[in-house]
């Protein structure tokens, strides 16, 4: 069988997709295991803020992160001609999409570090469990998105799927964390 055979390409794409899935699950599980075996340090601060001030700061940073994720989504929709009434996205839109993605990733790091250091991975309530699962899955999704973006073997549908998963996870984290904190420690439905 030659490399030009149609099933060879599908097998190669399937193997690449399986590798992306395995890598993203491995990252998420590693964060989960680390967080479950970490002794919480409830006095940890975030940029000099402690206690409820740290929670408030983290909620504001999380809201900024969610805003960046929505900007990412709009830029991606523009790049892939999914916004009605707009012409093709100029080259700076692609650059902006990458820059916003990196800023979002970097903004997520202190939030995540504080969450893991202060609380670890907890399962004490539905809200906390969802927040912990989404937080661990977020970095698995980041890994998947980077691998998909840089792969030429994967099917085209994987890029919008991984991007959508990232936006949804950030939205779930915002809802179960930032909104909860900014809304008087209450998130409707949780």
Q: Where are the domains of the chain?
A: 6-182
pLDDT at residue number 136: 96
The upper half-sphere exposure of residue 34, i.e. CA atoms within 13 Å in the direction of its Cβ, equals: 14
pLDDT at residue number 190: 79
Give the residue ranges of the chain where pLDDT is below 70: 1-11
pLDDT at residue number 9: 58
Distances (CA, A) of 85 to 54, 78, 89: 43, 10, 12
Distances (CA, A) of 149 to 35, 142, 143, 158, 188: 28, 11, 10, 9, 35
DSSP letter at 49 equals B
pLDDT at residue number 2: 45
pLDDT digits (tens, 9 = 90+) for 123-143: 999 999 999 999 999 999 999
């Amino acid at each position: 069988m030659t490399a030009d055979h149609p099933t060879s390409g599908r097998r190669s794409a399937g193997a690449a997709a399986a590798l992306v899935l395995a890598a993203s699950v491995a990252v998420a599980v590693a964060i989960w295991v680390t967080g479950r075996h970490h002794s919480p340090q409830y006095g940890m601060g975030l940029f000099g803020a402690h206690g409820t001030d740290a929670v408030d700061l983290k909620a504001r940073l999380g809201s900024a992160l969610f805003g960046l994720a929505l900007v990412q989504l709009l830029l991606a929709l523009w790049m892939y001609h999914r916004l009605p009434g707009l012409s093709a996205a100029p080259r700076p839109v692609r650059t902006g999409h990458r820059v916003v993605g990196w800023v979002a990733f970097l903004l997520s790091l202190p939030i995540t570090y504080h969450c893991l250091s202060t609380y670890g991975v907890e399962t004490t309530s539905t809200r906390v469990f969802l927040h912990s699962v989404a937080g661990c899955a977020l970095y698995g999704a980041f890994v998947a998105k980077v691998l998909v973006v840089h792969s030429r073997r994967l099917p085209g549908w994987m890029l919008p799927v991984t991007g959508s998963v990232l936006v949804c996870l950030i939205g779930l984290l915002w809802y179960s964390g930032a909104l909860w904190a900014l809304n008087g420690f209450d998130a409707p439905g949780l």
